[in-house]
Amino acid sequence: MRLANILDQLHGLGADAAAVSVDSPERNAAFALRWRLPFPLHSDPGGEAILRPLDLWNPGERGGIGWPAILVYDPVGQATFRFRSRDFADRPPDDEDLLAALRALALPPIASPPPWLPGVDPIEDAAALRVEAFGPFFRGIRSGVRGLAGRLSDDRDRAEAVRMSEMADSFLQAWNELRQSP
């Protein structure tokens, strides 16, 4: 979601965004339409085509999923920036490292492509997080983690709980910005 909010900045720095999921193309289509994703969401069940070759396969979670990650490649295919999370809830604390990596490439801006539309019919998935549940979900995470942080005695654990709360705050901020966009 945060990448969707800074997509114009990415295009201004000569970059574009795409996402990869282990879900089926039909489930990804439903997700992309539900969340109004302006960039492609690719399907890689089993992680064979994209996730495993990029060392982004997490076999220990739900039978195998992709690690949340952000990668930047230069025009000749060399990785110049890589963030790979430690678990499903870990996200980069801000976008500044990503934007700095793109600025360093000094690429010419690209024209914003038209919004991406999936090429398959979406399926409705009752288990998928509904748009109207996003705010309450992340407010609950934020509140629960803040409460837990006060009970922790180890400074590293407390710092980790604060970081998780800040991540939930950033998701809520990105969500509010996205809802206010046309």
From first to last of its 182 residues, the chain has per-residue pLDDT tens of 578 888 999 999 999 999 999 999 998 888 888 888 889 999 999 999 999 999 999 998 888 999 999 999 999 999 999 999 887 777 776 788 999 999 999 999 999 888 888 888 878 776 666 778 778 878 888 888 888 888 888 998 888 888 888 878 877 887 777 777 76
Whether 29 is covered by a domain: the verdict is: yes
Which residues, other chains included, contact 171 with Cβ-Cβ below 8 Å and sequence gap of 6+? Answer: 1, 2, 91, 138
Whether 47 is covered by a domain: the verdict is: yes
Residue where a domain terminates, one of 43, 75, 106:
106
- pLDDT of res. 173: 82
Q: How far apart are CA 123 and CA 35, in angstroms?
A: 14
Whether 96 is covered by a domain: the verdict is: yes
Residues 92 and 156 in one domain: no
Whether 112 is covered by a domain: the verdict is: no
Residues 99 and 52 in one domain: yes
Whether 137 is covered by a domain: the verdict is: yes
Which residues, other chains included, contact 9 with Cβ-Cβ below 8 Å and sequence gap of 6+? Answer: 99
Pairing relationship of beta strands 19-21 and 41-43 according to DSSP bridges: parallel
> Are residues 17 and 99 in contact, defined by beta-carbon separation less than 8 angstroms?
no
Residues 102 and 182 in one domain: no
- pLDDT of res. 171: 78
- pLDDT of res. 1: 59
Residues 96 and 134 in one domain: no
Distances (CA, A) of 113 to 129, 161, 167, 178: 27, 38, 29, 18
Whether 115 is covered by a domain: the verdict is: no
Residues 84 and 50 in one domain: yes
Q: Please give the tally of structural domains in the chain.
A: 2
Q: Is 150 exposed, middle or buried (0-12, 13-18, 19+ CB in 10 A)?
A: exposed
Residues 95 and 16 in one domain: yes
Tell me the residue ranges of DSSP E strands in 10-86.
Answer: 19-21, 41-43, 57-58, 65-66, 69-73, 79-84
Q: How far apart are CA 126 and CA 89, in angstroms?
A: 21
- pLDDT of res. 136: 83
How many other C-beta atoms lie within 10 A of the C-beta of residue 117? 10
Q: How far apart are CA 148 and CA 77, in angstroms?
A: 43
Residues 4 and 57 in one domain: yes
Domain holding 79: CATH number? 3.40.30.10
Whether 140 is covered by a domain: the verdict is: yes
Residue ranges making up the domain that contains 148: 129-182
Residue 170 CA, chain-centre distance (Å), reads 12
Residues 39 and 97 in one domain: yes
